[in-house]
Amino acid sequence: MSVVDIGLLLMLVLFLLLGSGIWVALSLLGVGLFAIFSFTSAPVGMIMGTSAWGSVSSWSLAPLPLFIWMGEILFRSRLSEDMYTGLAPWLNRIPGGLIHTNVLGCGIFAAVSGSSAATAATIGRMSIPELRKRGYPEQIVIGSLAGSGTLGLLIPPSIILIVYGVSAQLSIGRLFIAGVLPGILLIGLFMGYIMLWALRNREHIPPPEQSLPILERLRRSGRLIPVIGLIIGVIGSIYAGVATPTEAAAIGVAGALLLSALTGSLTWSAFVDGLKGATHTSCMIVFILAGASFLTVAMGYTGIPRHLAELIDALGLSPYALIAALTVFFVILGCFIDGISIVVLTASILLPMVQQAGIDLLWFGVFLVLVVEMAQITPPVGFNLFVLQGLTGKNIFRVATATFPFFLLLVVAVIMIVIFPGLATWLPQQMSGR
Amino acid sequence: MMTDKRRGTARRFRRTSMRKLLNGLYIISGVLAALFLVLIAVVVLAQIIGRFFGFIVPSATEIAGFSVATSAFLALAPTLQHGAHIRVTLILEQLPQRIHRWVEVWCLGAALVLSLYYTRWVINLFVNSMRFGDVSPGLLAIPLWIPQLGMAIGLAIFSIALLDNLVIVLFTNREPAYRAGEQAGTAEDSI
């Protein structure tokens, strides 16, 4: 059997296990086992034990559960209400009006939460009923929310960037900072699109409400100050190099607890629920990482990643062609499997190839996250679509059509970071030494 | 001599007490997992505070790292019960009830085999660490078998939970415990 045949066979086994409904982490283990048993004579059990231990007992993973916990605490706080009342008075007058609360709200919440679905859910809980009440068209409300929710993945802290950083052995801090400018770019694209849409569909947009006097506006936005403080504390300390991502995450947890205690939303049951949710989510992700690290070792034994890298080298494919091919591949894959699986599979199998093609791994992380964002909003498996379905009661394909323009905007963002790679790499280069 | 009725009651009693025992087991490992998660935050915060006041928390890095592993593995079973481990249910959802059940049996069976194999080798890891007296780097020199034991216990309880669900799907008409959470979208909400 040639390496190519083995690769295809393993891919078949993987899709069989995943597709039949075996849990992702165990499917990865299963494929790894199958690969080592069938094609090598390596001591499979020993490898399994050591890879499990090596991958999960590491300091670099520590920010993961902490950032998840922070998001869970804030998800249960009054932040959702405060965000809406704080942002709405300022956005009244610009074209598209209050729809922009979705984009900006998600952008701000993304800076304290690492999850895309939680971002969409937190902001949508408040903004959907408010926008509906004022008669904004459902289509654009749903689309902008599902689209902006994906900012949770890109704007630090980002769970998926931690997963990538741990798998690819990159600095989490630098990865986080690399996500900042592309995140802002996306916010700009989304808001620009909403303005254009509003100008072309004037008759569907309710007239702006009475503007509030500036002092009243400031008073209402005052509630956002603690959140902004938290963002500066977390992202700022990483950027300035005064804290490692783990330390920033621990400070974030303390800050989130303090913030929800001060606003009176930290009941015992909210605390327990948040902790429980965080425990489950981080368990799910760490288990997948453990499975993926075993798969990485197993793949190393089969020589497939190396072979793929050589193949790319022999083909003389340009990085642009490779990126284009990968984008299409990931978007198709993203219709069926979730973002975390895409990231860990990429790290196990494709990274040597990407490196061989001369692509910067930091940049590739940002690219990967953008593509995973697309996966979050493509049917039939798009987690943000499920969230919006739950919030609005519309069926998934209606939600998906409403979201489609925002999918295209993500494509634009990918094209832009390909043309201007500095968008992702410039800011991390300016970071202080740590 | 027991009457039929009394025998039935006895069986039901055994069944419910078994149920309680298993649920209790999942809850205990879940609570421990949550405590280890809190420990990560506490250790890291203590280290930060220590930096300002000039004391050091010995082996903070190692303790935090080990707690990540211990927390995650102890949480395996409760996370399963809660329906928060992700899997692709796209095809599964389309299947008619009868076939669905057998595919579920396949999933649980395969998962159980994989999990048992995994457990066996993590136990092996633990035994070796104990035999050779492996310790962590850093000030405290924590024996590695301690966190590895936590992982092994978590995986063992996970295997029990998989078996538990397999028995439910095979011998009763009830749905496995994780279906409720899956349908409510618990797993999706977290990414």
If 0-12 CB within 10 Å is exposed, 13-18 middle and 19+ buried, where does residue A379 land? Answer: middle
Calculate mean pLDDT across residues B124-133: 91
Rounded mean pLDDT, A384-390 = 79
Tokens of A306: 């190396």
CA nearest A388 in B: which residue? B189
**Per-residue pLDDT tens for A98-127?**
999 999 999 999 998 888 878 888 888 888
Task: Give the three-state DSSP class for A179.
Answer: coil
How far apart are alpha carbons A222 and A237 in whole angstroms? 23
Q: Is the CB of residue B187 less than 8 Å away from at least one CB of chain A?
A: yes
Average pLDDT, chain A: 88
Judge: A277–B111 Cβ closer than 8 Å, yes or no.
no
The amino acid present at B179, given as its one-letter code, is: R
Given a contact cutoff of 8 angstroms between Cβ atoms, the answer to whether B188 and A376 are in contact is no
Q: What is the mean pLDDT of residues A408-412?
A: 95
For residue B34, give the nearest of A64, A279, A380 by CB distance.
Answer: A279
* Cβ within 8 Å of A, B 23-52: 30, 33-34, 37-38, 40-41, 44-45, 47-48
Q: What is the ipTM metric for this complex?
A: 0.91
In a mutational test of the B interface, the residue from A17, A23, A34, A247 whose CB has the highest number of chain B CBs within 10 Å is: A23
* Of A2-11, A374-383, B144-153, the least confident: A374-383
Buried b or exposed e, range B2-33, using 16+ CB within 10 angstroms:
eeeeeeeeeeeeeeeeeeeebeebbeebbbbb
- Asked whether the beta carbons of residue A117 and residue B107 sit closer than 8 angstroms, the reply is no
Higher pLDDT, residue A308 or A286? A286
A19·B91 Cβ contact <8 A: yes
**Mean pLDDT across the stretch A313-328?**
87
At residue A13, the pLDDT reads 94
pLDDT value at residue B162: 97
**With an 8 Å Cβ cutoff, are B68 and A65 in contact?**
yes
Q: Measuring CA to CA, which residue among A267, A85, A247 is closest to residue A172? A: A247
The pLDDT score that the predictor gives to residue A190 is 96
How do residues A325-369 score in pLDDT, each as one tens digit? Answer: 899 988 888 887 888 888 999 988 889 889 888 899 999 999 999
Does the pLDDT at position B37 exceed 70? yes
* B53 pLDDT above the threshold of 60: yes
pLDDT of residue A116: 82
State mean pLDDT over A183-188. 95
